[in-house]
Amino acid sequence: MTTYEYGNPEADVVLIQLTGEHELAVLENEVKEIRKRASSGELDFRFIAAKVENWNDELSPWKAPAVFKNEDFGGGAAETLEKILALCTDPGKTYYIGGYSLAGLFALWAAYQTDRFSGVAAASPSVWFPGFSAYMREHRMKTGTVYLSLGDREEKTRNPVMAQVGACIRDACSWMSEQGINCTLEWNQGNHFQEPDVRTAKAFAWVMEKRTGKVVKGRLRR
């Protein structure tokens, strides 16, 4: 796994994002957006982007048949999580995990496996993934802060599996809120491919501010 780092390497807050080759070009802009949105640049952080080689294999929690094109899901998330946890060994640091699309789903799943993460930033996560809604109800999440988002056109796809994403994410937010998790669901304009860097930046900024209680735009965010 190749990692790319931005921000302050000595910061107490560490943001970890699973990413693919297709997202590398926008990472710098995402970091700028996080910095701009996180209490007007007052929150210091270290940003680690962990690049996976096989998106559908390394980020899927279990095996599942292909729902788009012809590449099945390999169920390699457990091995990927081991590598991510190796980046989170300093007990004096606060770690957040996040990502976009299937990486957002991985971040949610990871928070069911370990309490190492103080918050999850899941932007347009693939919560349509077969069996994941049931998994959420059968297990307890080990973090108390979760950000969810979705584009307002994402559930209008012709793909019958992916079209469930709207119902799944509403159900996920409702269920986590019932469990006492500080969860929000934000709707963005556009389809799944619109401004993933900005959407993910908003996700990380929100979870950091919810944990620190910083003042944002004149009001206290808790």
Query: Could you tell me which residue, 5 or 67, shows the higher pLDDT?
Result: 5
Residue type, 72: D
Rounded to the nearest integer, the mean pLDDT of the chain is 91
CA separation (Å) from 87 to 2, 15, 104? Answer: 12, 11, 18
Cβ burial, residue 9 (10 Å; 0-12/13-18/19+): exposed
- For 107-149, the pLDDT digits (tens) are 999 999 999 999 999 999 999 999 999 999 999 999 999 999 9
- For 24-77, the pLDDT digits (tens) are 999 999 999 999 988 655 789 999 999 999 999 999 999 999 887 778 999 999
Cβ neighbours of residue 156 under 8 Å, at least 6 residues apart?
163
Q: Which domains does the chain carry?
A: 2-220 (3.40.50.1820)
- For 9-20, the pLDDT digits (tens) are 999 999 999 999
Task: Give the pLDDT of residue 221.
Answer: 32
Do 182 and 210 touch, CB atoms closer than 8 A? yes
| Exposure b/e, 12-45, CB count within 10 A at least 16 = b | ebbbbbbbbeebeebbeebbebbbebbbeeebeb
pTM exceeds 0.75:
yes
Indicate the length of the chain as a whole number: 222
